[in-house]
Structures are given as structure tokens and as C-alpha cells.
Chain A
Amino acid sequence: MRRPQLLTHILCTTIVAFVISAPPPAYAAATITVFTNDGATEGFNDPTPATPVGGNPGTTLGQQRQIAFLYAANIWAKTLDSNVEIFVLASFDPLGANVLGSAGASVIVSNFPGVGSFPGSAFPNTWYHSALADKRAGVEQAPGFFDIRARFNTQFTFYLGLDNNHGPLSDLVVVVLHELAHGLGFSTFVTASTGANFAGQTDIYSQFTLDVADNTVWSDYGMDSQRAASALRVDRLVWIGSASLAAVPHVLSFGRPELAFNNPPALGPSVRVGTAAFGPALTSAGVTGHVVLGVDSSTDPVPPAPSGSSRMPASHW
């Protein structure tokens, strides 16, 4: 299906354009412009009355969605550093049960030069999300196209406050922050099931995706099957961007908890476990004790209690 109507369609439809300009740049700033093609009485324009919540002063459901979305986009605008405007097309639509929202890059670019002092693409034959490509090129690479397309679900009840006090609900600000990140650059264009690159070129995300099992970044795998196998190695894939590596010691705990069975040995090798929300934190020294299966009914048979030890092994880094 050809889509010459993309730009036309957007201009023909009722448009609300929100321009989010960060304050004058101190160390970083970008401008994010959000468009919506929602109708006059739906999605971002839903007139259903709403009570202001958690610092969101909107008095209709649509207003609250707008304010929460823009709040999240503004966080990115203040965090990023780009002299090229970032365009987002966002909408609220019925997406069915179990879905919160969906987003990604609209356009991808490779082998682009920079203008002036802008460096252009850092790697040859590597796809970039257009917002990132624009930043590195210093100029818009695909005029007339959105950088990011985002859809959220009208059938899902989000918390629309701005204060992170979401309780058991999903916080729209957090979900939008997360989804916009995918559109900005935090996503690969590799087909996960086959490991195939898009159109025979790797992508910028894969240049920084390291499989610690074989110490290889995804862009260096010679065969698609290697990437496909790597994609299934849970807890072996890490991001090696310099900013993330610098932040790791401050935000993550090293290692992962495992449960090893001392007796009976027939229970097999160690298994992955989560840490408890009670008691002292698990340390690398670990703890040893009996494991008992909890049962709901006194009539249920209780299996023999194996003994085992749980530990936090040293990091695989």
C-alpha cells in the first residue's frame, strides 16, 4: 500500500500541535513537537469530565492525557541535546484489552553526512532512528515525516497524575517516557525470530548490544542465526554505551540470585530465583537452609523438603 497521503492526511485531519520547547539550553535541550490526529471528541480531545489528579490540572480526560503526555515529552526535551526539531505523531485509540500502547521510529536513515561540525553517522552501513540521525547530521534527514509514531489505548485506565503516585495503576507519564525512548533510539531493527538485519545493514542499537556469553556485539555477528540465538540468552545481553556503563554502579546490583540444591542432588543444577521483599538483602555470600513448598490446603501432600543454598554469584562482567 502506498502512502502519499501521509503528510496530506495529517494536515487534513483535525490537528493539535503541541510544541515543547525546553528552557534556553544550559547543557542540553531539544524541541519536541507532538501532533495528534485524534478526532474532536476522542483520545486527546475526549471531553469526559475529569477531576484534577496528582498535579495534573486538566478537567477533561482528553486534557489530562495531553498534559501527561507533554509532561513526559518535556522530560526528554530537557534531557536530549539536538538542534533539529523532533516530530511525534501521537494518538489515543481503542487498542483492545491487555494493551497499553505502542511506539517506534517512523523513519530510519543510514550513511548520512554531517553539516559543519556535526559528525554524521558514526558507523557506516548502520541504520539510525531519524531523530538520532538528525541530531548527528545537524539537519533534518526526512523533511515532512514524523520521527516517532506513538499510539495509546483508550480502553486502558492509566494514572494521569504527574507525581508518580500511581498506586496499582499504570502511570501514563512513565509509559510515554519509555515508549518515546524506543522511537528516539533505544530499539533494534533486527528481526528477533530470525536475527536478520533490516535490509542487510546493522543498526545503531546493535552496535552497543553486547552478548557477554561470547563477548560479541550484535553488529559483529556474521550470521543471522547467531543474533537469533543471542536474543534468547536471558541475562547475557547488556548495553555498553559509555553513559550507561558509567551509571551502572550507581543504579544496578551486580550478579543474579540463584538457588542451588545440596540435597537431594536429583533436583538438578541451580535455578533462577527472585529476591524476597522481606528480610535482609541477599549477599554474594548467600544463605543456606531448607526449602519448603507452601500449600494452600492441609489435605494436599507435602513433598519432602530439600535443602539448598541461595546466593548472588559474582557478576559475569
Chain B
Amino acid sequence: MKLHTGKARAFGKARRDLTRVWLLAAAILVAGTWLPSSLWTLNAQPPGQRGNAVREDLVKKLTGKKFRVDTQTGRARPATEAEARETVEQLTTLLPTPGAEPEIVRRSNGTQIANVDGLFNRTVIARPREDGTIETRCVATLEEAVAFLSGETAADLEDR
């Protein structure tokens, strides 16, 4: 295993431009196809910058649920509405945005490429058990995250 550090400090603007040109040239050589310039500006919005409204129904669902930890006792305690809102806001920035439509680049050879940075992320979340230990779950949707934090189980999901 090799460790390289501090490379970035060597990059000035001119070197950045040179690097970009080099990468583009390499891409054309390697791919053997013309790479549309729009590939460099694919417009997937990264997590945290999507400006989605907070889902009030999910805030309401989480309020009062024991997914926060009491720092004094180390035990699970009910979340306030403000904490529930904060959690929904944060998870909204981390989890996929339904209906998002990032630009798709179509190459002349039929290949399609999309920059989906953050749109299909999976997020690991944790909820405290009554005994103070934690339980984790990897979730793909905001609804799934809120269901887990509010104490629902897989059986609850199936019963819907």
C-alpha cells in the first residue's frame, strides 16, 4: 500500500488547465470516441444542495420516538420536534431524491453515461436500543430511514 500526500498544493491554475486538457485527450484516445464536452458538466445535484422541502409528515412521525440518546443516562429517549426535523433534514440531503433526472450523455457508439453522484446513495443509520447499545441499518429511502428510527420492524413493513 502506498500513501501519497500533499499533491494538491502543487496544482496552480495553469496546471489545472493543463491537467484538464490532458485528461480530455486521454479520454478521447482511450475511449476511441469523441467525448462530448457536456460530460464535464453533467448536472447531478450533490447531496446537501438539492434544497428539498422537509417532509412534515415524517417529522411528525419521528417526533416523540426514542431514537436519540440521553447523554446523562446513555439510554434511548424521545426526540423533540426540533430534533426530528433536524434528522429528517439531514437524511434528506443524504438519501436519493425521487424523480431526479441528471443529464445523460449519449456517445456515438451507443454508450450512455450519467453522473448520478449522490442520487442512489445508501446510508447507514443507527438507533439506540433500550439497553443503550445501538442497532444499525443501511437504508435507501427517506421513508425507510424514518421507519427504522421510529422503531418499525421488517414485520411492520410487510403488514402494510
Chain A contacts to B: CB under 8 angstroms:
1-4, 6-8, 11-21, 70, 74, 95-113, 115, 127, 139-146, 149, 151, 156, 168, 170, 175, 178-179, 182, 187-189, 191-194, 198-199, 201, 232-235, 271-272
Instruction: Report 30 cross-chain contacts, Cβ distance below 8 Å, ordered by A residue.
Output: A1-B43, A2-B43, A6-B115, A17-B7, A19-B4, A21-B2, A70-B1, A95-B94, A97-B87, A98-B67, A98-B149, A99-B90, A99-B126, A100-B125, A102-B123, A104-B116, A104-B118, A104-B120, A142-B39, A143-B30, A143-B31, A144-B24, A146-B117, A149-B117, A170-B126, A179-B124, A187-B140, A199-B114, A233-B158, A272-B154
Residues from chain A with Cβ under 8 Å of B63 in the complex: none
Residues from chain B with Cβ under 8 Å of A113 in the complex: 109-111
Given contacts A98-B87, A234-B155, contact A110 B122 (CB under 8 A): no
* Interface of B, helix, strand, loop or mixed by DSSP: mixed
Residues from chain A with Cβ under 8 Å of B73 in the complex: none
Measured CA separation A287–B20 after assembly (Å): 68
Choice from A17, A141, A179 contacting B4 with Cβ under 8 Å: A17
Residues from chain B with Cβ under 8 Å of A151 in the complex: 47, 94
Establish whether residues A194 and B98, one from each chain, have CB atoms under 8 Å apart when the complex forms.
yes
Residues from chain B with Cβ under 8 Å of A112 in the complex: 111
Establish whether residues B1 and A100, one from each chain, have CB atoms under 8 Å apart when the complex forms.
no
Shortest Cβ distance from A182 into B: residue: B122
Given contacts A3-B44, A70-B1, A199-B114, contact A193 B143 (CB under 8 A): yes
Establish whether residues B126 and A189, one from each chain, have CB atoms under 8 Å apart when the complex forms.
no
Measured CA separation A20–B1 after assembly (Å): 5
Choice from B2, B7, B112 contacting A110 with Cβ under 8 Å: B112
Shortest Cβ distance from B132 into A: residue: A168
Given contacts A14-B9, A96-B90, A139-B31, contact A104 B121 (CB under 8 A): yes
Shortest Cβ distance from B32 into A: residue: A115
What 14 additional pairs, Cβ within 8 angstroms, besides A106-B117, A193-B141, A234-B154? Answer: A1-B43, A3-B41, A3-B44, A15-B8, A18-B4, A20-B2, A97-B68, A98-B67, A104-B119, A105-B120, A108-B120, A139-B31, A143-B30, A187-B122
Smallest distance from the beta carbon of A295 to chain B beta carbons, Å? 16
Smallest distance from the beta carbon of A272 to chain B beta carbons, Å? 5
